[in-house]
C-alpha cells in the first residue's frame, strides 16, 4: 500500500471527528501545508507552537495534529519573525503539515468532553448545547462510529457522578485525576452534588446554560468573575480547572483516535504525543 498523504489523514480524522461539527466561527482542518504531502510520522499536541513544530522537524514528522488551530482571527501579513508567520515558515520549509480539530473534537461522540467526563468519573447523558446537524448528517455520523451512537453529540456534557459528593471532595478528586497543581472552586460548598455539567476549554460563556441544566456543579475552565457571581447567586457551584487543565488530555485522545483510524485503513504511521507543553499561567 502506498504511503498516505495529508488528504488521506484528513479523511480518516473526519470519520471519528467530523469537521461538520465545527462551529461556524472556527477554523478546523488543514492549517498549513499541501494535501498531497506524504505522511509517515505524526505528532499530536494541544497548541501549534514553535517548540512543537521544532520537535516535529527534529523527529522528521510530516504532520502535526493539534486541538487549537494555528489561525482563527484574520491577519494582514505573514511575518516570518512572529507567529503565526514563523510557524507557517517552518511548516512550508520542512514540509510539515499542520491540521487542527477544535470545536469538532469538543462536540464529537467520544470526543474531548466525553474523554474528560470519563476521567472525571461522570457518565454523560446529554450535551449542554446539542449539535445542530440535520437528520441525514446525524445518521451518517452515527453509522461512521456505530459504537458511540448512544453518546451525546454537541458542546459540553451533563451527566451523573458515580456517587453523590460535596464540592470540596469532588474538587480534590478532579485535581488528582487530572494531575493539576490547583483548581478554583466557588458557589455553594454545602450542597450534595449528584449531577455535573462539563465543558472543556473556555466554558464560562455557557454559565447561563449550566444554570438551566439541572446539574449542581459546573466543571470547566476560564470562568470569569461575573460568571462566578452568577453561579453563586443561583446557589450552585463550579470547579474551574483552567483552559489548559481541561484540554491537555487532547494530546492522548487525538493519538488514540488517529491510531485506530490508521490501523483500520491498513496504514503504518508512527504517532507521537507531545508531552512538553505547559500551562502558560503560573500560580505563585
- Tell me the per-residue pLDDT of 233-249, one tens digit each, with 9 for 90 and over: 999 999 999 999 999 99
Instruction: Give the three-state DSSP class for 236.
Output: coil
Average pLDDT over the chain, rounded to whole? 94
The most confident of the ranges 66-80, 132-146, 171-185 is: 171-185
Tens digit of pLDDT for each residue in 10-48? 999 999 999 999 999 999 999 999 999 999 999 999 999
Burial classification of residue 21, based on how many CB atoms lie within 10 Å of its CB (0-12 exposed, 13-18 middle, 19 or more buried):
buried
- Do 235 and 152 lie in one domain? The reply is yes
Is the same domain home to 152 and 48?
no
| pLDDT confidence of residue 74 | 83
Same domain membership, residue 177 and residue 68: no
Predicted structure pTM score: 0.92
Q: Provide the number of structural domains found in the chain.
A: 2
User: How much is the pLDDT for 137?
Assistant: 54
User: Alpha-carbon distance 148 to 117, whole Å?
Assistant: 15
62-89: pLDDT as tens digits: 999 999 999 998 888 899 999 999 999 9
Q: What is the pLDDT of residues 141-167, one digit of tens each?
A: 555 555 555 679 999 999 999 999 999
CA distance 42 to 65: 7
Same-domain status, 112 and 73: no
| Helices 50-58/85-94 angle, 10° precision | 10
Indicate whether 112 and 181 sit together in one domain.
Answer: yes
Rounded average pLDDT over 85-109: 98
pLDDT of residue 255: 98
| Domain shared by 90 and 124, yes or no | no
Question: In terms of domains, do 140 and 234 share one?
Answer: yes
pLDDT band at 138 (very low <50, low <70, confident <90, very high): low
Confidence of residue 3 (pLDDT cuts 50, 70, 90): confident
Query: pLDDT value at position 135?
Result: 47
Biggest CA–CA distance in the chain, Å, is 61
Q: How many CA atoms lie within 13 A of 131 on its CB side?
A: 27
The whole-number pLDDT of residue 262 equals 96
Structural domain including 98 reads 6-102+248-273
**Minimum mean pLDDT range among 148-162, 196-210, 262-276:** 148-162
Amino acid at each position: 500500500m502506498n504511503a498516505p498523504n495529508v488528504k488521506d489523514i484528513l479523511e480518516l480524522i473526519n470519520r471519528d471527528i467530523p469537521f461538520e461539527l465545527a462551529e461556524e466561527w472556527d477554523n478546523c482542518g488543514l492549517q498549513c501545508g499541501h494535501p498531497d504531502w506524504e505522511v509517515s510520522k505524526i505528532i499530536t499536541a494541544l497548541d501549534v507552537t514553535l517548540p512543537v513544530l521544532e520537535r516535529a522537524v527534529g523527529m522528521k514528522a510530516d504532520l502535526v495534529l493539534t486541538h487549537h488551530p494555528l489561525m482563527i482571527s484574520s491577519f494582514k501579513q505573514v511575518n516570518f519573525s512572529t507567529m503565526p508567520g514563523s510557524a507557517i515558515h517552518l511548516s512550508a520549509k520542512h514540509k510539515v503539515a499542520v491540521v487542527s480539530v477544535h470545536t469538532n473534537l469538543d462536540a464529537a461522540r467520544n470526543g474531548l468532553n466525553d474523554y474528560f467526563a470519563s476521567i472525571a468519573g461522570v457518565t454523560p447523558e446529554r450535551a449542554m448545547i446539542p449539535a445542530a446537524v440535520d437528520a441525514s448528517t446525524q445518521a451518517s455520523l452515527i453509522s461512521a462510529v456505530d459504537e458511540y451512537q448512544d453518546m451525546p453529540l454537541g458542546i459540553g456534557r451533563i451527566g451523573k457522578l458515580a456517587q453523590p459528593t460535596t464540592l470540596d471532595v469532588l474538587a480534590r478528586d478532579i485535581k488528582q485525576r487530572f494531575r493539576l497543581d490547583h483548581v478554583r472552586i466557588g458557589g455553594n460548598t454545602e450542597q450534595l452534588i449528584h449531577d455535573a455539567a462539563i465543558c472543556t476549554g473556555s466554558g464560562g460563556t455557557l454559565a447561563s446554560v449550566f444554570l438551566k441544566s439541572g446539574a449542581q456543579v459546573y466543571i470547566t475552565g476560564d470562568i470569569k468573575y461575573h460568571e462566578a457571581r452568577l453561579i453563586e447567586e443561583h446557589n450552585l457551584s463550579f470547579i474551574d480547572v483552567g483552559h489548559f487543565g481541561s484540554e491537555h488530555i487532547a494530546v492522548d485522545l487525538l493519538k488514540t483516535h488517529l491510531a485506530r483510524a490508521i490501523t483500520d485503513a491498513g496504514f503504518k504511521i508512527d504517532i507521537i504525543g507531545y508531552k512538553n507543553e505547559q500551562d502558560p499561567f503560573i500560580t505563585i
